[in-house]
Each structure stands twice: as structure tokens, then as C-alpha cells.
Amino acid sequence: MIFSNQSQSCNDHLNQQIGGINIGQNQKQRKICMECIQKKKINLTQFLLLKDFVEKVLQKSNSLNIKHQLEQSQSKEIFKQSLQLLDKIQEEIILIITSIKESIQAIQVHEKNIDHKFIQLIHPNLNPVECSDSELDFLVNFINGDIFEKEMEKRIQLSQFIKNNWFQEEMVNNLYKFCHLIENIEKKFIQQTEQTSISFEVLENDNKKLKFNSIQNLEQAKHLQVEGQYGVKGNRIRKWKYFWKGQEIGYCQYNIWGQQDGNQIELCDNYSDKKNVLEIGQCSKGKRCGKWSFYCGYRQIGGGSYNEEGIKTGKWVELDSQFKLERQIIYQGEYNMKGLKIGKWNIEYCNPGQEEYKKIGGGLYDQENQIKNGQWIELWDNFEKYTQVISYGKYSQEGIKVDKWDFQYRQYNEQKYRQMQMVMDLIIKRELKYRVGYSQMMGLTGKNKSFIKVIIMQEGQKLVNGIFTFVIQEKKYRIKLVVDPMINREQRMGCGQNCGKDFVSRLRSLRMVDIIRKVLRQIDGIFVIVLKITKIMNQCGGFYDSEGIKTGKWVELDEHFFWEKQIIYEGQYNWKGMKIGQWDSKYCSFYDKEYKLVGGGSYNQKGVKAGKWEELDDGFDECQQVIQIGLYNNEGFKIGLWEYRDIEEKKKIGENNYDN
């Protein structure tokens, strides 16, 4: 702490001196001036003048008699005694270990001497006359007795005892456990300064279990368990086992320094049922070495070799960092001796349910610096089974994107890519002839949009008393259906039957396009389904300059572009690669044929948002079409009152004041 009478300026208002301290809970800024109080509307009950703050601290210190309590703290004497005791134990342990080592060494010397005696027995030039009396006694006992057999039996017993060394293992394990417990207490006591108490019972129980949960996703939190032993400084030592849903699936081995050493069967990053990849190979002092293989289930899908320094060399088949069931992407190419990619690298993809990987992209690296150059075909960040979007264009010799880059897509069961287009609309109309006494459903419409293909079948079935129902059957691919508002109005018809009018069914989250047209003849009527499919085109992309900077007009996909979140942005980049001027946000719902303007605003010459903006909410999608409307200042910060509006319902649903 600094003790000084000098005044300091406020960080937010440099012309104002710090007037006091904000004592409210969870405040990032404690030192404030009078202008801060006014502009940030700070509650005066949470504000203390500097002198009042110091007085409060002194009052609390005096009431607790801090100095006396610290001087009389029992922990100081206990820690002193503990350190003295540990010094004594350390001295005794060294003495014990030294004695054990001396005994074992003495046994080794004795065995060596006995070995020498027995070796002499088989010497062809043995002369008994030259032997001493003790040597002759040994030879006579060897002839008449079983001294050799007894010697070997004794050695077997000794070896078995030393091999089991249960006393050593138990001693070391207990020391490691106690060490781990003390280190945990140290972390809790020192690092968590606001911790009011320490649950020693929890720490002891954790120490007994010695389990380590390396959780990377919710599925791992539920199904993954890793068990092993800790050494000093929290290092994992010896063998650590991985269990998935109770079954052992892999392990890692560590030396006493916490470095991976020996054979390994490691789990890939973010291991899950959809990414059940194991990485198998060897480590030496914490570095991978030799050949490593990657397995998905029982099938090898990748791998390569590391040199002694743990650097990849030679030919490799690598898995994409987001590899999973719907995104089975691999990269094939070569590393030089420095661990840099060189030459041609291919990008390959395998559709779920298939086994063959096919090339869908790639390009060339230079021979020295792992720099892309020339023509490349790259995958969109969210590429997977139902969003197979690629971009293609050119890299300069400096590894910079230049000229025009375009997007293409394909449906998951197609072979060729096409310029970016989306299947947008599907209208199903139904006509039904009926006789008096049977139900009637009128104006039934179903709408589906996306650019991904599935096969579904929809048909009408006649039930008791002539009532019709719709059945949607899975026909090869799993699909997700959400059906909303059912019959809006009913009216009585002849013979006591009901008629449902204005029946609207909306099918959401359907993949597209292979809908089976079905014409069914029913008793007392004909049921007809008519399909209409329309398409619209959407060109995405733009230009890079010679420095790899975006320039001119661009049409960009939203980072989380999806069939339920078909959002694009249109605007201009300046020569520095900064967004400038008006940028529009456009959206196409499942039920529209073209993109509509739903938001936007302007960037100033600094490339930051300024003035009025209508922004799409982070959770904006087909079912939650919410935008935020408000102002940015010239520094790109939200100011004033921002309104939240549901553009589908055309009503305000909330607000947020950024001046508070």
C-alpha cells in the first residue's frame, strides 16, 4: 500500500481530483470524483470521502485489535513447530533410506562373491590341492549337499520380496497424498484471499479419491472421469486412466516430474460420442515422439511421425480442429524438418454414414515459411453435413488473400459444388371433396426453407367417422419438426361432425428438397397434395487488394449463418480494410423468396459504428426475430436508451439504458 498526502486525478475526468471511495459491492472503479457521482448517478450512501474512508478503516482495525490478534496467532507457533518436525523427519528418512541402500548394496556384494564361487566349480582347470580349507569345505558341501539349490531358493524369495516392495509403495503413496493435500491447502489459503473458511474435509476427501476431471464440454461433465495419482506441485504421476460412461477407453503415463513418458492412448480435444477420437503413440519427457495414429472407433483416420524434439515431420494426415460426426474433415500433406507445412495439402471430407474421404479443397504452401500461395479452395468456418460451403480464390506469394473470393455450396449428397444459392420456399396445397357427415380441413399450408436436402413423406389418412389426420414419416434421414397453432376455429356440421377451418401447420427446421408428391384416393373423396418449389440466388463474396485487405463492396455471411439464421451483411470497405459508410443487415426467413432489410447503420472514418443503428440481437433467428435500436457515440460505444423490438410481431419488448 502507498501512504502519501499527494492528490491524484480521476481516470475518467482528468481535470477533477479524486474525492472519495465507492464502497459498493463488486465495483470496478473505486476511486471517483464528484463528476463521477453526478454522471454515473452513484448512490451517496455508497460513497465515502477520503478522510472518512481512512477513519472507517482505523475504527474497524481498533475494534478488532488487529495487531494484538496477529501477534498472538497460534498458527505462527504451529507452523514453526511443523517445520522443525519436518526437518527432523527429513533427517530420519534420509538415515533410513541410507541404511536400506547400504543393506541392499551389501546383499549385492555377497551375491557377487557367491556367484564367483559357483563359477569356479565349472572351471576345467580346477586344482583341489591349491584350494584353501574353506574352499574345500564349500566344494565338499556342494557335492554331498544342496547348497546351490538352497542359494537359488533364497534368491527367489528375496527377489519376490524386493519386487513386491509393498512397504516402499505404501510409504511413497502416503507421502504423495499428504504433499498433495498440503499444496491444496496452500492454494486455498493464499490464492483465494476472500475465502472466509477452508473445508479441510472436502480437501481430504478429494485427496483420497485422487481424481482429475479435465472437462471440456457438458457431455464430458456427465460421462468422463479421469483417475490417477498426484505428485509434488500438483503434477500428475504414473498412470492416469480415462473412463467414458464407466468403461476404460485410454490412459496417459507420467514420470515423477509430471511429464508424459512411455505409451499413451490419449483422448482428442473435446472428446464426445460424436467425436470419439483416440490418439495413440509414445512420449519421452513430455514430448511426443515416433509414430502416432488417430482412431475414430476402430478405424484409423489419421496420423504421422514426430522427431525426437516433438516436431511433426514427413507425411501427415491431420484431423480438423472441429472434427466430429457431422464434420469429418482431414488434411493430407507434408511437414519439413522444421515442422512447417510444405508443398501440396489436400482437404478431404467424408459424409456421415460413409467411409470414403473425398477431396473437396486445398492448395500449395511454399517450401520455407508455411505460407499459402496461388489458388486455394477453403472450407467455410461452419462447414458440416448440412452447410457444405466453400470459398475459393488466390493467395499472393506473401500468403495474403488477393482479388475476388467467391462462395459455393452443395447439398450433402451431391458431388459438385454450385454458386451460392438457396432453396427458399415450399408451398403445399390440399383440396378435399367430401360428403355431409365427414370432416373438412381448409387452407392447410406448410412452408419449408433451407438449402439442405432430406426426404420426407406427408400423407392424409382417414380415421373413424371420416376424420382426416396428417402423418409425417421419416424416410431415410432424421428430421426435426415443430408444428404450431392447430385448429383455430370449429363449426358444427351435419350428422354431428365437426369442421375445422383456417387450419395452419408450420413445419420448421426441415432440411430440403426431396419432397415426395403424394396423391391418395380415399373413401368418399380424393386427397391431393400439390408441391411448388422456388429458388432464389444469393451472391456472396468480395475483393481483396494486393495486401490481402478487403476492399470495395462486400456481401458477407453472418458468422453463425444457418438455415434458421439466414443473415447477410452488405456494405463497403475502404482501402485500409475498414468498414465505412452504410452497412445493411438482411434476413431471409423460411417463408420468403428474397432477402429483406432488417437493420443496419453507418461506420465513421475510424471504422467504428456511429449514430443510429438497428442491430440484430445475438439470438436472432427464425423463431426470435429481435432487433436493438439505439445510438453509438463517435468512439463506437452504445449510449442512451436502446429499444428491443420484435420485428415479426411489430412491437417493443424491452429496453436498456447505457447511460446508467
pLDDT tens sequence across 85-100: 888 888 877 877 787 7
Cα separation, 258 vs 256, whole angstroms: 5
Residue whose C-alpha is closest to residue 377's, from 402, 334, 346: 346
Cell output for 56: 472507517
Verify that 526 and 606 share a domain, yes or no.
no
pLDDT tens digits along 302-332: 999 999 999 999 999 999 999 998 899 999 9
Domain boundary among 495, 510, 536: 536
Range from 45-54, 201-210, 485-494 carrying the lowest mean pLDDT: 485-494
Segments forming the whole domain that contains residue 621:
545-657
Verify that 30 and 109 share a domain, yes or no.
no
* pLDDT for res 442: 38
Confidence of residue 188 (pLDDT cuts 50, 70, 90): low
Verify that 428 and 519 share a domain, yes or no.
yes
Question: Within a 13 Å sphere around the CA of 302, how many CA atoms are in the beta-carbon half?
Answer: 24
- The structural domain count of the chain equals 4
Whether 502 is covered by a domain: the verdict is yes
pLDDT tens digits along 540-562: 678 888 777 888 888 888 877 76
CB 177 within 8 A of CB 171: no
Q: Which residues touch 100 (CB under 8 Å, ≥6 apart)?
A: none
Cα separation, 107 vs 154, whole angstroms: 12
585 CB-contact burial (10 Å; exposed 0-12 / middle 13-18 / buried 19+): buried
Verify that 517 and 563 share a domain, yes or no.
no
More confident call, 513 vs 254: 254
Confidence of residue 355 (pLDDT cuts 50, 70, 90): confident
Whether 100 is covered by a domain: the verdict is yes
Q: How many C-beta atoms lie closer than 10 Å to residue 556's C-beta?
A: 18
CB 228 within 8 A of CB 241: yes
Residue whose C-alpha is closest to residue 574's, from 557, 555, 550, 556: 550
Residue whose C-alpha is closest to residue 347's, from 336, 335, 334, 363: 363
CB 169 within 8 A of CB 151: no
Cell output for 567: 443473415
Whether 444 is covered by a domain: the verdict is yes
Verify that 614 and 640 share a domain, yes or no.
yes
Whether 4 is covered by a domain: the verdict is yes
* Residue 205 in this model has a pLDDT that exceeds 70: no
Whether 466 is covered by a domain: the verdict is yes
| Helix (H/G/I), strand (E/B), else coil: 620 | coil
* pLDDT for res 184: 74
Whether 142 is covered by a domain: the verdict is no
Q: What are the φ/ψ torsions at residue 97 (nearest 5 degrees)?
A: -65, -40
Verify that 588 and 620 share a domain, yes or no.
yes
Domain boundary among 536, 566, 584: 536
Whether 237 is covered by a domain: the verdict is no
Cell output for 365: 504452401
Verify that 8 and 33 share a domain, yes or no.
yes
Q: What are the φ/ψ torsions at residue 617 (nearest 5 degrees)?
A: -60, 150
* Residue 201 in this model has a pLDDT that exceeds 50: no
Question: Within a 13 Å sphere around the CA of 204, how many CA atoms are in the beta-carbon half?
Answer: 4
Verify that 480 and 550 share a domain, yes or no.
no
Range from 8-17, 170-179, 367-376, 414-423 carrying the lowest mean pLDDT: 414-423
Specify the pairing of strand 514-515 against strand 455-462.
parallel
Verify that 94 and 2 share a domain, yes or no.
no
Confidence of residue 166 (pLDDT cuts 50, 70, 90): low
Verify that 433 and 467 share a domain, yes or no.
yes
Whether 571 is covered by a domain: the verdict is yes
Domain boundary among 536, 555, 570: 536
| C-alpha distances out from residue 376 to 63, 362, 393, 556, Å | 73, 6, 6, 19
Give, to the nearest 10 degrees, the angle between helix 200-209 and helix 166-190: 140
